[in-house]
A and B are shown apart, each in its own frame.
Chain A
Amino acid sequence: GDSVTQMEGPVTLSEEAFLTINCTYTATGYPSLFWYVQYPGEGLQLLLKATKADDKGSNKGFEATYRKETTSFHLEKGSVQVSDSAVYFCALLFSGGYNKLIFGAGTRLAVHP
């Protein structure tokens, strides 16, 4: 069945460091892909998305490119800030219909000054 695998956390970085969080997926067809972020004490917020192969989603300095060949959607940011500390979830839209999101386990990011 459809599934998402994320790199395990926590990821600990210093401010202004480069960030990569790996995400790979298994799915039938070509699902839309998403990154959601969960700040402490808050609900999930959509960070960015891509709906077809080679699309690049971007928001708040974060980017991810839909790679069909490697079934990946890695999240990157060139220079992280303390305020980026959160849990990041990769997700795909279930190919069986009904608009169901399948989430990865999440990756906790901690950025230190």
Chain B
Amino acid sequence: EAGVAQSPRYKIIEKRQSVAFWCNPISGHATLYWYQQILGQGPKLLIQFQNNGVVDDSQLPKDRFSAERLKGVDSTLKIQPAKLEDSAVYLCASSPPVGQRGERETQYFGPGTRLLVL
């Protein structure tokens, strides 16, 4: 079974530029998550989708970050304009459908996109 795919793996931009990250979850996984992992810290949830609807975006800086999940499969996270403090690894994760409680709680992570803002 293929894992969570993310691209690009690395990105370097200058502040005030825009950037987009792409995620393809595990086939059949209804829930998709974007996390931000700043160096030396644990991942922090930015946004969670259930199918193509947002269920939690309470920690997403909405003035500059946006995300979408068209057709309930792939997702894109965008930052516009980027700030220096956005330098981090952006992790995408997915989990199985609602109804399989023991499995639903397990999140499967992609390799991440490392962003450096200069």
Q: Do A and B come from one complex?
A: yes
A contact set with B: CB distance below 8 Å = 4, 32, 36, 41-46, 49, 51, 89, 91, 93, 98-101, 103-106
> A43-B4, A105-B40 known; A99 and B109 CB under 8 Å?
no
Between-chain CB contacts (< 8 Å), 26 pairs: A4-B42, A36-B109, A41-B111, A43-B110, A44-B43, A45-B109, A49-B105, A89-B42, A93-B105, A98-B48, A98-B55, A99-B48, A99-B104, A99-B105, A100-B56, A101-B45, A101-B107, A103-B42, A103-B44, A104-B42, A105-B40, A105-B41, A105-B42, A106-B40, A106-B41, A106-B42
B24 adjacent to chain A (CB < 8 Å):
no
Bound-state CA distance A44–B37 (Å) is 11
Bound-state CA distance A41–B10 (Å) is 11
Starting from the known contacts A36-B109, A99-B31, A100-B56, 17 additional A-B residue pairs (CB-CB under 8 Å) come to: A4-B42, A32-B105, A42-B111, A43-B109, A44-B43, A46-B106, A46-B108, A51-B105, A89-B42, A93-B105, A98-B55, A98-B56, A101-B43, A101-B45, A101-B107, A103-B43, A105-B41
Q: Which residue of A lies closest to B48 (CB)?
A: A98
> Do most interface residues of chain B lie in helix, strand or loop, or is the interface mixed?
mixed
Bound-state CA distance A46–B44 (Å) is 16
Check B45–A44 contact: CB distance below 8 A: no
Q: Which residue of A lies closest to B93 (CB)?
A: A44
Q: Which residue of B lies closest to A91 (CB)?
A: B42
Bound-state CA distance A32–B105 (Å) is 8
Bound-state CA distance A68–B27 (Å) is 36
Residues of B within 8 A of A101 (CB): 43, 45, 107
Smallest CB separation, B58 vs chain A (Å) = 9
Bound-state CA distance A91–B104 (Å) is 15
Smallest CB separation, A26 vs chain B (Å) = 15
Check A100–B42 contact: CB distance below 8 A: no
Bound-state CA distance A106–B42 (Å) is 6
| Chain B window 49-64, contacts with chain A (Cβ cutoff 8 Å), 1 for yes, 0 for no | 0000001100000000
Residues of B within 8 A of A91 (CB): 42
**Max count, chain B CB within 10 A of own CB: residue among A45, A51, A93, A99:** A99
